[in-house]
């Protein structure tokens, strides 16, 4: 009644049941799925970069330059002359070796008891992490670092544990970066 | 040490185009693969990949660094592809013929791989997407649900259905 054939089982006339060996079993299918990934053509990166719009930051800076330039014709030669005078005087000062240092020591502090690492990142280091790290000297979650900065205006944020950005809550000024975050500002 | 995605995003926002280029290079394969699986077309997948990164660039400020950048950009890709599908009628027969030629012309392709690709393309795009995310990207069901904007149960069902259908198509002629 029952007949065994390699890979086939016939049970009986009634309720005949056939089971075949499957060529593609679950394991094979999963393996093929895992191997089925496709790589993007190399030129996609270049095409994306070529299509990017001008950044908001760059366009804001361009706008500022354009607005600054005076419209009255007589002002332009006057500015050009003033700029030439500044460059000349600067050259004389540097030649005499009397270049004054314009760096000021600034201490940045933040309370972050759960953080493992905090870095200071901003316009003064081109927003590159890995350069200025705060210290939690007393192991009480109070982090600080003192850095020399040029006089002028600087924007910055704290980078917590390598990925979370925090504005400085004690900063008097903030600027939205136009993309949903607020940069802290310090003016020296 | 590799720079984290959130640092690259911040640098991109501050005008550093090299940082955004790093993000593109890091995730272009992931995006392309998902787009290809959903559209069955390498030309469409290229267009969608480029458009996905352009949209991501415009929306960088909406990226939450607590969320995986990979999942975020794959969500943009998935939504974009679905929108394109709604507007277009697919030319099924032409594409299947193209697939056959494309595969048989490649010496490295075995018959099994060819049959696998033909069977895969019979599945619905949303099922193919779920399979790509599960097996190529290694996403959890929660991630799949997030990216495709469905429930976790629905994600599990799609993956299971996809596997079962593939198995059925592949073993059909055996």
| pLDDT tens per residue across span B91-115 | 554 555 555 556 555 544 678 888 8
* Measured distance CA(B172)–CA(B174) in Å, rounded: 6
pLDDT at B109 (0 to 100): 64
B30 pLDDT above the threshold of 90: yes
Q: Which of B57, B65, B136 sits opposite A163 (nearest CB)?
A: B65
End-to-end CA distance of chain B: 50
* Measured distance CA(B167)–CA(A28) in Å, rounded: 10
Residue B56: closest CA among B86, B19, B88: B19
pLDDT at B173 (0 to 100): 59
Q: How confident is the model at residue A177 (pLDDT cuts 50, 70, 90)?
A: confident
- C-alpha to C-alpha distances, B72 to A49, B63, B67, B133, B140, nearest whole angstrom: 19, 7, 7, 13, 14
- Cβ–Cβ of B24/A45 closer than 8 Å? yes
- DSSP string across B11-71: HHHTT-HHHHHHHHHHHHHHHHHHHHHHHS-HHHHHHHHHHHHHHHHHTGGG--TTS-HHH
- C-alpha to C-alpha distances, B42 to B23, B36, B37, B107, B108, nearest whole angstrom: 21, 6, 9, 19, 18
A79 pLDDT above the threshold of 90: no
pLDDT at B95 (0 to 100): 57
Residue A145: closest CA among A137, A154, A155, A153: A137
- Cβ–Cβ of A164/B50 closer than 8 Å? no
pLDDT at B111 (0 to 100): 80
- Cβ–Cβ of B13/A34 closer than 8 Å? no
Q: How confident is the model at residue A95 (pLDDT cuts 50, 70, 90)?
A: very low
Q: How confident is the model at residue A64 (pLDDT cuts 50, 70, 90)?
A: very low
User: What ipTM was assigned to the predicted interfaces of this complex?
Assistant: 0.84
Q: How confident is the model at residue A60 (pLDDT cuts 50, 70, 90)?
A: very low
Within an 8 Å CB–CB cutoff, is residue A157 touching chain B? Answer: yes
pLDDT at B99 (0 to 100): 59
**Percentage above 90 pLDDT, chain B:** 65
Comparison of pLDDT for B13 and A16, the residue scoring more: B13
Backbone torsion region of residue A163, taken as left when φ is above 0, otherwise alpha when ψ lies between -120 and 50, otherwise beta = alpha
Selected for mutation to probe chain B from A32, A116, A155 (highest B CB count within 10 Å) is A32
What distance in Å separates residue A15's CA from the closest CA in chain B? 22
**Percentage above 70 pLDDT, chain B:** 84
Q: Can you tell me which residue has the tokens 């099924």? A: B92
Buried b (16+ CB within 10 A) or exposed e, B38-69: bbbbeebbbbbbbbbbbebbeebeebebeebb
pTM above 0.90, yes or no: no
pLDDT at B174 (0 to 100): 53
Q: How confident is the model at residue B117 (pLDDT cuts 50, 70, 90)?
A: confident
Comparison of pLDDT for B147 and A14, the residue scoring more: B147
Q: Evaluate whether A151 touches A114 at the Cβ level (below 8 Å).
A: no
Q: How confident is the model at residue A17 (pLDDT cuts 50, 70, 90)?
A: very low
- DSSP string across B122-174: TS-HHHHHHHIIIIIS---HHHHHHHHT--HHHHHHHHHHHHHHHHHHHHHT-
- Cβ–Cβ of B134/A181 closer than 8 Å? no
pLDDT at B115 (0 to 100): 86
Strand (E) or helix (H) holding A5: strand A3-5
* Measured distance CA(B102)–CA(B116) in Å, rounded: 14
* Measured distance CA(A37)–CA(B136) in Å, rounded: 6
Mean local confidence (pLDDT), B43-57: 94
B22 Cβ contact list (under 8 Å, min separation 6) = B3, B8
A135 Cβ contact list (under 8 Å, min separation 6) = A143, A144, A145
Q: How confident is the model at residue A41 (pLDDT cuts 50, 70, 90)?
A: very high
pLDDT at B137 (0 to 100): 94
Range with the poorest average pLDDT among A5-19, A158-172, B9-23, B24-38? A5-19
pLDDT per residue over A68-78, tens digit each?
444 455 556 66
- DSSP string across A139-179: SSSEEEEEEEEESSEEEEEEEETTTEEE--TT-SEEEE-SS
Selected for mutation to probe chain B from A8, A24, A39, A178 (highest B CB count within 10 Å) is A24
Within an 8 Å CB–CB cutoff, is residue A29 touching chain B? Answer: yes
What's the token pair of residue A179? 């993309």
pLDDT at A89 (0 to 100): 58
| Residue numbers in A near B166 (CB within 8 A) | 24, 29, 33
Q: Specify the DSSP class assigned to residue A131.
A: S
- Cβ–Cβ of A38/B116 closer than 8 Å? no
Give A15-60 as a 3 state SS string: CCCCCCCCCCCHHHHHHHHHCCCCCCCCHHHHHHHHHCCCCHHHHH
A93 pLDDT above the threshold of 70: no
pLDDT at A62 (0 to 100): 37
């Amino acid at each position: 009644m029952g007949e065994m054939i390699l890979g086939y089982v016939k049970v009986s006339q009634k309720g005949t049941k056939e089971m075949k060996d499957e060529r593609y079993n679950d394991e094979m299918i999963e393996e093929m799925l895992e191997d089925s990934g496709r790589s993007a053509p190399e030129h996609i990166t270049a095409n994306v970069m070529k299509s990017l719009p001008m950044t908001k930051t760059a366009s804001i800076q361009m706008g500022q330059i354009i607005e600054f330039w005076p419209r009255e014709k007589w002002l332009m030669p006057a500015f050009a002359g003033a700029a030439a005078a500044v460059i000349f005087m600067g050259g004389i000062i540097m030649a005499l070796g009397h270049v004054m240092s314009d760096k000021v020591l600034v201490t940045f502090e933040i309370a972050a008891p759960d953080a493992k690492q905090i870095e200071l990142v901003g316009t003064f280091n081109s927003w590159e992490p890995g350069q200025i790290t705060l210290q939690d000297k007393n192991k009480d979650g109070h982090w600080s670092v003192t850095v020399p900065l040029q006089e002028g205006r600087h924007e910055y944020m704290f980078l917590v544990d390598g990925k979370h950005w925090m504005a400085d809550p004690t900063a008097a000024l903030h600027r939205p970066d136009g993309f949903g975050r607020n940069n802290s500002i310090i003016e020296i | 040490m590799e720079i984290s995605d959130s640092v690259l995003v911040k640098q991109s926002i501050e005008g550093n185009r090299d940082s955004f280029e790093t993000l593109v290079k890091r995730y272009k394969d992931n995006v392309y693969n998902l787009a290809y699986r959903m559209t069955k077309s390498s030309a469409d997948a290229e267009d969608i990949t480029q458009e996905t990164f352009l949209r991501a660039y415009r929306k960088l400020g909406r990226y939450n660094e607590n969320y995986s950048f990979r999942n975020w950009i794959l969500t943009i890709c998935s939504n974009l592809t679905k929108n394109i599908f709604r507007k277009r009628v697919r030319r099924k027969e032409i594409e299947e013929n193209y697939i056959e030629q494309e595969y048989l012309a490649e010496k490295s392709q075995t018959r099994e791989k060819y049959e696998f690709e033909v069977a895969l393309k019979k599945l619905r795009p949303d099922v193919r997407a779920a399979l790509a995310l599960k097996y190529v990207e290694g996403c959890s069901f929660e991630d799949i649900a997030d990216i495709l904007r469905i429930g976790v149960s629905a994600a599990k069902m799609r993956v299971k259905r996809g596997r079962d259908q593939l198995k059925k198509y592949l073993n059909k002629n055996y």
